[in-house]
Structure 1
């Protein structure tokens, strides 16, 4: 009787932490996170605008000197401290927990608007078959803004819902939540094992089809012809570094969380190189496909590629529909392109949401299913209240711009300074990376993370700060930018501090036996100083 009572009063044992069942599934999931919408609709235009083929030089330098070293930093923190972003940083140092919650809140903002873009892409798969935009006499741009989004004339917050967006957004959230409830192996791993091969096959077919279109060569020439004079411009190098930070999912908390699910004896650096270069390979593939299609568009319009080249939403939902209407087998091109956006978006949304779910699961000791539902349903509801509306595009544009620059960049800068100069954690993390990795790190890696990283991030952040302060973003009202731009960016940091002050539950994973055993193994297996090689 007394034994039974004591068991009832005791806290529940923490749920055993899941791990990826194989290195291949981790790599697929990490690549799935890295390969997102930006690879398809942002990289080609960034490269074209910043020297064409010559941009590959600063791009490669940025990968090797900042992207991969900071990717390794995320891997080291997550794998050594075996937790979500807040838990891993808390275990590294009690005062560093706020960094993890900052990343969680960044992911929250991205998740609520990312689902809307996936829903748009899903609808445009169908529109590619019906060529719905042809019914608007003013073309694809007018169809997107007026017929599809039904965009309000001024920036603001309204709750006039658009059914064409609301319904597919519900479906996006349902699919995502079902995958998340299933867990790391049965959900995230399996979803990436299906979506990533589909994405690669679909995009490869799209590229092959695009390069045989009339005028495709002109597009490829525009994309690859090097302008070496551009390399003298500091903004070109800043563009390369900025793109790499976002492209590799560095400082989102995603790679910290995913690496915590890797098995104890994992080749961290070898896996990191595979993920980084797989991501870059897909970006180059996207550049070929996109600019071949834009070359065809320019050929048909009797103009230059520069006149039709654009980035982001304009490329996806205005330029490509025009190509679909004009190209042979245009409907196939449209389904392949927008289907690729859907799959790339879903794999990224899953990883973004996992950062949030894992954080609350670790801190409050919740089991996987209730943690997913308690976290995901409110995120989905907020997303469904704000973005399938006539003012959704204004909110998305502003929140995306400010969370990227004053969320991700600012958080990344804080992390490299605090972990490097503040806590002196880099030597310890380098040792951990070297335990079972095929490529060893040393002083060079620490210099890149502690020196090059802060310099590049600081430069970009100051530039963005000057730009945003000099004029109202996109000409939106000051109150709108103040609340959903500057206010949102500031609220992320304040919210992170408040979340870090919440006491850890007795059922949390802060001191669970599995982690304590892991730490004993870490200490026993760390590579001696003499075995550390230069990066």
Structure 2
């Protein structure tokens, strides 16, 4: 790459590293989208939101919000050939701040997301001898995480810190190797391996006693749920969070695509592959929970811990302990979590590293080292301590349910209404793709999506302000919740104010040139 030098000439395809082929881009984008949330979030959300009936709002949300915003990310990255800050700056200089807001969200998410990958790596090892014993909850929060009171602890837990260091070293090596030689190669190996491993888990789970009871609990439709606004909000939220959209990741990935890459067809493959994996995960998880309920002689509805980390690190270990051949099932399950989480965190860090590289004129390796060391240090300091679980849960709640939603609202309003780039980006997608998008796409990203997200954000803000979160002290939420969001805003403004030392963006000319585009 040529990020260490200035260039007075217009950027050409040869001056930016690209994916070796479209399959590499698609697998990397799928790797980013398919993460831990697909496995531990979708099944529980679907179950609690109408079962089989939930698939209707889920599909509507995919078609009206998920794919349109994914296309928007692709269009911005591919047309303006840069990570989010520089891509938005090339649209209009003040918009750079929006790019940094998205990248700082990625920065925050990467810091805590790596900790969950480290937990999965630990449990992959523990699964060989079922080290968690019979009291899986006590082992997870006590013996393993050593959870204490909601304070800012400096007591490092070695069992978390050691795998966390390994995760960050691996991330550094892959990001430093580049897009084609690092990120692409990892995803070409990991994504097929993940699909094969998880498909094997699903097949095994379907043979267990009680599996059909679990599937009936998941897919039996509650049609009355379709009249509940909260169910529709849950569907849009699930699609939104699972596709890795609106916080700079897909903008960066698309910027490394070749000039004449087929963007919309690739986007459809990524979106439907992600949703297919979510449904596959739902089948596997609830078939396994059906077996657990059968063993406990209770109904599936009476089980606890059907979503989030508790599902993966408490409920599933308990199931594995009672399952014939549980060791093998556990090893494959936690290996799948590691693969899914690792491909996602690589995509998150690539956007941050690319943004730093472009802004400060650093080389690829220098930016990878700087970003990985900084993120890794914060990650180990905050999330491998005895207060790590509470801090992680709080930061995740505010980053995902407030930060990313705000980012999407601002992005759609700025691009469509303030900068008037909706039609330009639509024509760009149509110029390079076989699947054409009509003017309804601009209406979706300019009206429907921000309108619905405002409702979703308003509901969440009212809940957080009036009820707090998980009975945590107000000062704790002020530090790790609202304080984190304040940090993202301030950091975005500071980074925007720093003069550019990398490529001179004024030399850039978008391709193909369109008459509607105005500076």
Tell me the TM-score range normalised by the shorter chain.
Answer: over 0.9
Q: How far did 1:325 drift?
A: 0.3
**2:184 matches 1:181:** no
Q: Is the 8 A contact 2:409 2:454 kept in 1?
A: yes
Aligned residue for 1:522, secondary structure, equals coil
> Quick one: distance in 2 between partners of 1:179 and 1:129?
28
- Aligned partner of 1:117 in structure 2 is 116
- From 376, 383, 395, the counterpart of 1:380: 376
Q: 1:155 touches 1:476 (CA, 8 Å); kept in 2?
A: yes
Query: Structure 2 matches for 1:276-425, cutoff 5 A?
Result: 276-308=271-303, 310-425=306-421
Whether the 8 Å contact between 1:104 and 1:356 is mirrored in structure 2 is: yes
Correspondence for 1:462 = 458
> What are the equivalent positions in structure 2 for 1:224-263 lying under 5 Å apart?
224-263=219-258
Q: CA deviation at 1:487?
A: 1.3
> Are the counterparts in 2 of residues 363 and 510 from structure 1 also a CA contact under 8 Å?
no
Could you say what secondary structure the match of 1:19 adopts? coil
Alignment of 1:21 onto 2:20: yes
Q: Distance in 2 between matches of 1:41 and 1:252?
A: 21
Separation in structure 2 between the aligned mates of residue 130 and residue 157 of structure 1, nearest angstrom: 33
Whole-angstrom distance in 1 between the partners of 2:504 and 2:185? 25
CA distance in 1: counterparts of 2:463 and 2:48, whole angstroms: 19
The equivalent residue for 2:33 is 34
Task: Tell me whether 300-309 or 453-462 shows the greater mean CA deviation.
Answer: 300-309
Cα distance in 2 for partners of 1:83, 1:274 equals 23
Structure 1: stretches of 5+ with no match in the other structure: 1-9, 529-535
Q: Is the 8 A contact 2:244 2:250 kept in 1?
A: yes
Map 1:485-524 to 2 at 5 A: 485-505=481-501, 507-508=502-503, 510-511=505-506, 515-516=508-509, 519=510, 521-523=511-513
Q: Cα RMSD between the aligned structures? A: 1.6
Q: Is the 8 Å Cα contact of residues 5 and 503 (structure 2) preserved in structure 1?
A: no
- Mapped contact 2:424–2:516 kept (Cα < 8 A): no
**Hey, what's the Cα distance between the residues in 2 that align with 1:292 and 1:497?**
48
SS in 1 for 2:156: coil
Deviation at 1:55, TM superposition (A): 0.4
Pick from 419, 434, 443: which aligns with 2:430? 434
| TM superposition shift of 1:442 | 2.0
Call closer, same or farther: CA 1:319–1:369 in 2, change over 3 Å.
Answer: same
CA drift at 1:287: 0.3
Q: Distance in 2 between matches of 1:233 and 1:466?
A: 18
Give the deviation of 1:30 after TM superposition: 0.3
Displacement, 1:12?
5.5
Alpha-carbon distance between aligned partners in 2 of 1:58 and 1:401, rounded to the nearest angstrom: 23
Shift of residue 510, structure 1, vs aligned partner: 2.1
Return the offset for 1:62: 0.1
**1:90·1:96 contact (CA, 8 Å) conserved in 2?**
yes
Shift of 1:508: 2.4
Counterparts of 2:516 and 2:295 in 1: how far apart (Å)? Answer: 61
Q: Distance in 2 between matches of 1:442 and 1:365?
A: 38
Given that 2:27 and 2:191 are in contact with CA atoms closer than 8 Å, whether structure 1 keeps it comes out as: yes
**Larger-Rg structure:** 1
Q: Where does structure 2 lack aligned partners over 5 or more consecutive residues? A: none
